[in-house]
């Protein structure tokens, strides 16, 4: 295991942010840490790279106890924080130079690595303007470039794509895939479930500081909900009428007026909806059940038939 947490807890005052959390991240995969705001993801990552100390439990990174070997561990990992840490008055190139020196890189290797990460994240066109003049997306790319300067074996990314436009997001995920293919282990948090489903080999869903589910996205989906989802706007009475037939225990999720039904076969329900429509023809969405459904089912809102 590249990262191993055993019964790790962390409190801030009387608030328990991480609650006896255990986690195994195997080598060479992209592992997603998912969970609602305040679930304890950032706190967990901070403990893994050794800037926050747990109150109890054990953390090993590369098989080393992080509290005893913080320097040895940090030399081998790269971190992009939820908030960018950049020197605004300097250019991207200068930021990379400062950070490379922190990692004790010397010329000509230092310049070689700077060129490498600038190319990798396509920062070339903006490499010589002060960071404060860069758009949010370029600043984020620079933050990720910084975390790659030491060619880390483990890359920790806390919400790397929040606030990025769709094209840059896609480009970034493809870069992360390349890193993984080259053997880098990636530990990432994201609130985009489509992204997590596409990119992560395994995910852990964290709720109130505890892992409530862990595994490959497809396995989690199959374990919790039927494979077909039907979404439509309907009142609670209409919903009850739809369920009165042959599927009273159908799992479903209501958010406001929008209901999603989960079924093995959507066809009979669609017929029932059309009968109820009586010419209205409400728009429906029929789609495969996805990781976002599982996230919502596990983390709350009102999944009425429960799990």
Residues 6+ apart with CB under 8 A from 5: 21, 22, 23, 24, 44, 47, 48, 57, 58, 59
Residue with tokens 């039904």: 261
Residues 158-187 that bind ligand ATP (CB under 6 A): none
CA–CA gap between residue 149 and residue 145 (Å, rounded): 7
From the list 56-64, 81-89, 121-129, 270-278, the region that binds Mg ion by CB under 5 A is 81-89
- SS3 state at 176: helix
Which of Mg ion, ligand ATP, none sits in contact with 74, Cβ below 5 to 8 A by type? none
Interface with ligand ATP, residue 54, by CB under 6 A: no
**Least separation, in Å, of the C-beta of 158 and Mg ion?**
6
**Which CB sits closer to ligand ATP, 60 or 82?**
82
- Shortest Cβ 36–ligand ATP spacing (Å): 7
**Helix 217-224 × helix 291-299 angle, to 10°:** 60
Residue 14 engages ligand ATP in binding (rule: CB under 6 A): no
Q: Give the separation between CA 226 and CA 263, rounded to whole angstroms.
A: 5
Of positions 32, 40, 54, 160, contacts ligand ATP by CB under 6 A: 40
Cβ of residue 45: shortest distance to ligand ATP, in angstroms? Answer: 8
Please give the C-alpha separations between residue 87 and each of 31, 84, 131, 157, 167, in angstroms, as whole numbers: 29, 10, 7, 19, 26
On the CB side of 129, CA atoms within 13 Å amount to 10
Q: 2, 8, 21, 35: which one contacts ligand ATP (CB under 6 A)?
A: 35
Q: Does 42 bind ligand ATP (CB under 6 A)?
A: yes
Residue 15 found at the interface with ligand ATP (CB under 6 A): yes
Region binding ligand ATP by CB under 6 A among candidate stretches 41-49, 100-108, 133-141, 228-236: 41-49
Nearer Cβ to ligand ATP, position 38 or 124? Answer: 38
DSSP secondary structure code for residue 13 in this structure:
T
Taking the least distance from each CB to ligand ATP, the nearer of 35 and 100 is: 35
Span 203-242, contacts to Mg ion by CB under 5 A: none
| Per-state percent for the chain, helix, strand, coil, to nearest 5 | 35, 25, 35
Query: How many Cα atoms sit within 13 Å of 109 on the Cβ side?
Result: 9
Q: Which residues bind ligand ATP (CB under 6 A)?
A: 12, 15, 17, 35, 37-43, 82
Q: Which residues bind Mg ion (CB under 5 A)?
A: 41-42, 82
């Amino acid at each position: 295991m590249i990262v191993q947490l055993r019964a790790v807890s962390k409190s801030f005052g009387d608030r328990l942010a991480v609650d006896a959390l255990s986690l195994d991240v195997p080598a060479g995969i992209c592992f997603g840490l998912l969970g609602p705001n305040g679930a304890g993801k950032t706190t967990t990552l901070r403990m893994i790279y050794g800037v926050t100390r747990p109150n109890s439990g054990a953390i090993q990174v590369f098989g080393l106890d992080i509290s005893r070997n913080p320097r040895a561990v940090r030399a081998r990992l790269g971190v992009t924080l939820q908030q960018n840490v950049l020197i605004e008055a300097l250019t991207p190139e200068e930021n990379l130079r400062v950070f490379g020196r922190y990692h004790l890189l010397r010329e000509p290797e230092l310049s070689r690595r700077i060129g490498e990460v600038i190319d990798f994240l396509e920062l070339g066109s903006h490499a010589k303007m002060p960071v404060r003049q860069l758009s949010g997306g370029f600043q984020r790319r620079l933050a990720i470039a910084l975390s790659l300067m030491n060619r880390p074996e483990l890359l920790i990314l806390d919400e790397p794509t929040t606030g990025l436009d769709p094209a840059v997001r896609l480009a970034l995920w493809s870069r992360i895939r390349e890193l993984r293919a080259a053997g880098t282990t990636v530990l990432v948090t994201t609130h985009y479930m489509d992204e997590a489903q596409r990119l992560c080999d395994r995910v852990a869903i964290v709720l109130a500081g505890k892992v409530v589910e862990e595994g490959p996205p497809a396995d989690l989906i199959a374990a919790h909900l039927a494979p077909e989802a039907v979404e439509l706007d309907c009142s609670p009475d209409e919903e009850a009428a739809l369920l009165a037939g042959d599927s009273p225990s159908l799992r479903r999720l209501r958010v406001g007026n929008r209901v999603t039904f989960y079924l093995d076969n959507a066809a009979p329900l669609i017929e029932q909806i059309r009968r109820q429509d009586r010419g209205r023809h409400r728009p429906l969405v029929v789609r495969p059940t996805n990781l976002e459904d599982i996230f919502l089912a596990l983390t709350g809102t009102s999944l009425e038939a429960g799990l």
